[in-house]
Structure 1
């Protein structure tokens, strides 16, 4: 079951923003960034546990509807200075990540479970790149590209993602757009659009994943896979 890119974007307008990570040790990260030598960094990361990260213990690790568990500078200070980070993406049945960008990194995504449909638009004039990933298949999202993905199956989906920055950053498109002055949003959307009503439907930051289109949920319900809405 495939869904058009337009359908994805309309669903995402009334969606959650991608999660914002909390620094586990900002002082340590600051010291790692200013350390003169690698030996100084090793002394700052003096315990074996400093080099260990458990994705399953992330608050964002769930499948109801899902979430993005990050190992980055904020959550795993040992990534500082290595020029990369990783994340596990969990998507429950029909769950999706709404359109977003990573301003400072490209993303490599490898499916390890389920069936995930992905979309990428790299810039104005570029075509929409669509892929359907099953286990051990991957795609690439260019740095700064708008991209989104959805579990189009009725079982859990999971992906492993890698970034060429320890601080890729994430910006949700819908939330960013409706944070602009109403003169901007009303002009872009045109007369007769209730901008305030739409903006009020955009929820606060969550774990990163949201419930997907109703037609996917209905199809799973017909297969005996009833999916309860999470908002």
Structure 2
């Protein structure tokens, strides 16, 4: 019986450790409003699962990522083809996605964040200037990448990629979420719907109202 208190103590410590270690899963959407009636539900934290009996190899397949993006149609002369769970259903619950990035000379993937994913990028062709900014203090980490070079952007931090070479750039990026999300800073600040109050932006950026009004009209 002397061993009983010891076993009880171990059990209590193990339970306390389990409770301390438990946490909600990372979100895969900006929000997930709870609903009791599943007939009206659209998605959970991820996607509802397909019946395994109806799953095929095509659910785990995405074709033609070798095809360059249409950079000519972009004002920024860049293209991002994200293969997330919406395009590749087999990614559901696996916590990963992939993107192909194409840049014309001086093409830009503007400052943006992925609120739910770390990004690991490898340059396949060309020369790319890239970097990210830390939260506090706002320190810039920047690097020039050439063919075969790899760089990582920590989750949720503002980052960018810019082609500083004379030829097109091709890069691939892996992201640590099946739905990493994208917030392009300029679009979000000056192009939100409805728009952010003009006085708020004027004071925040210390700009003339006419300048802020002009920027909002661009987005």
Structures share fold, TM-score greater than 0.5: yes
Distance change in 2, residues 1:126/1:196 (3 Å): closer
Matches within 5 A, 1:2-17: none
**Separation (CA, whole Å) in 2 of partners of 1:137 and 1:43:** 42
Distance change in 2, residues 1:116/1:41 (3 Å): farther
The equivalent residue for 1:50 is 59
The equivalent residue for 2:203 is 187
TM-score, normalised by the number of residues in structure 1: 0.66
Give the structure with higher Rg (CA). 2
CA contact (8 A) 2:199 2:209 kept: no
**Separation (CA, whole Å) in 2 of partners of 1:55 and 1:102:** 24
Q: What does the per-residue CA deviation read over 1:81-115, in whole Å, with 9 as the maximum and x for residues that have no partner? A: 11100001111111010110000010000100000
Selected match of 2:69 from 43, 46, 61: 61
Q: Over aligned residues, Cα RMSD in angstroms?
A: 2.3
Gaps of 5+ in 2: 1-41
The equivalent residue for 1:33 is 47
Q: What does the per-residue CA deviation read over 1:12-37, in whole Å, with 9 as the maximum and x for residues that have no partner? A: xxxxxxxxxxxxxxxxx9598344xx
The equivalent residue for 2:117 is 105
**Separation (CA, whole Å) in 2 of partners of 1:175 and 1:101:** 12
TM-score, normalised by the number of residues in structure 2: 0.70
CA contact (8 A) 1:55 1:70 kept: no
Offset of residue 187 of structure 1: 1.3
Offset of residue 55 of structure 1: 4.4
CA contact (8 A) 1:89 1:160 kept: yes
Relative contact order (C-alpha < 8 Å, sep 6+): which is higher? 1
CA contact (8 A) 1:151 1:157 kept: yes
Q: What does the per-residue CA deviation read over 1:129-157, in whole Å, with 9 as the maximum and x for residues that have no partner? A: 00111111111101110001111111110
Gaps of 5+ in 1: 1-28, 203-231
